[in-house]
Amino acid sequence: MTPHAAPKFVRFLVAIATALGALAALPAAATGTSPAAAAAAAPYALFGGKPLEWERSGGKLVGVYTPNWQPAALVDALHGDSVTHVIYAFLHVCGPGQLAEDAPKCAGKPDYQIATSAVDDTFNDAFARLEARAPHVKVVASVGGWGGSDPFFHIADEAAPRAAFAKSAADFLRAHPAFDGIDIDWEHPTNNGSANGVQLGSPADGQGYADLMAALRGALDTLTAENGHKYILTGAINCEHVIVDKVNYRDAAKSMDYIFMMTYDFYGGWKKVIGNHAAPRASAAGAEDGLDAAIRTMTGAGVPAGKLVAGVAMYGRGFTGVARPAPGRGFTGEAHTGTYPAPEGSSDWRELAARYVDRHGRGLHGYQTIFDPQTHAWNLYNARNKLFMGYDDPRAVIEKGRMAREAGLAGVFAWELSQDNGDVLNAMNFGVGNQLLQP
């Protein structure tokens, strides 16, 4: 090296060092930093066990389901700036396919009308108080659910029932002014899986879904013309090809504001093998058990990314009789002998955090928290008792928020508020880029 070359070489090294320093300063999403490292950069305790207050600086939707079998006090305790949307679950429909339990509420009602009760009025008052302190929050009433979707199979494919139901939805909003829209939780058009002991569904449901959304959009727009309030229309859906390929989501999306992708319940007692039921990334090429796969499926079906909302689970699903996999393999696809805890094989995050996960995200009482580099999910595993629990760890939830930002999604939502101790909702906010309000 010549004396004249030395200064140039030094400047070259300095330039490299400067570039590396700038690269290190970039957000984790830009550099491919591991989810654990990205989560470690959070400006708060990820497992602090309490809801924090956030500045809505990320510009993304943050939604939570609030079931009507839980106390309305949950809404009163909610930090308004922690959410943009609340989804009230569930309203049911009278007439063909109605649930037996809804008979008292449906007495004297025409077919295809929404069943209502005093509980809805109680929540309407709670939502009005929420919107008084947080005017940006939008509340939508979700109709259906896994057990309550059978009436849609009798409504969607014919014009008269669609019109009657759409009018009933508008009537509900007119009578409950704290609500800002309707959500349709019809998860399996074309095949209800005999959810209530009666097999329903036909290929016509695929177009019927889009026609139902168009009818609802028309009814909501008519109501907007009446009172000046802008109403939103959303839906919660299963994102597997077995359903998506049969439904005209491309046209349905034209009538809808958002589509909530149920990127959870990928695994459960209904399957012979285990896996994390809410993983950010699929377990293998071609697998459909991750958020990334759902995004590809729905955008491939013609739904704009900006209308899609990523799903988060505020609960885990557990399996018994799970042997530790061979070295280098994850747990996905391993056999099980049953589910736990009884009766449904699921545990709220609130319970998992209190019993099995410490304030640093490590396992307790014989459990380990194990990161799966393929799915980017954390799982709880008790080797002695052969117990496996897949759940949406706050670190994984942060990654889901990052993924939503990178893919241009509308944001993230979770099922459901009562199951959280604050950790998951905090992670949703941090993941989509919201800033913590310092105490």
Q: For the chain, how many residues are written?
A: 439
Q: Sign of torsion, CA 402 406 411 413? A: negative
Rounded distance, CA 368 to CA 379, Å?
A: 8
Burial code (b: 16+ CB inside 10 Å, e: under 16) for 246-276 equals: bbbbeebbebbbbbbbbbbbbbbeeeeebbb
User: Do residues 24 and 376 lie in contact, with contact meaning Cβ atoms separated by under 8 Å?
Assistant: no
The HSE-up count of residue 348 (CA atoms within 13 Å, CB side) is 11
Maximum alpha-carbon separation in the chain: 98
> Helices 159-175 and 205-227 meet at what angle, rounded to 10?
40
Phi, psi of 221 (to 5 degrees): -65, -35
Rounded distance, CA 194 to CA 248, Å?
A: 22
Pairing of β 138-144 and β 85-93: parallel
Q: Letter for the amino acid at 24?
A: A
| Look-up of token digits 């709670």 | 126
Rounded distance, CA 381 to CA 387, Å?
A: 6
**Cis (ω within 30 of 0) for the bond into 430?**
no
Comparing C-alpha atoms, which of 241, 138, 147 is closest to residue 185?
A: 147
The secondary element (H helix, E strand) that includes residue 401 is helix 394-407
Catalytic center residues: 187
Contacts 24+ apart (CB under 8 A), 123-127: 123/66, 123/68, 123/72, 123/75, 123/88, 124/176, 124/177, 124/178, 124/179, 125/72, 125/178, 126/72, 126/73, 126/75, 126/76, 127/75, 127/86, 127/88, 127/178, 127/179
The secondary element (H helix, E strand) that includes residue 387 is strand 387-391
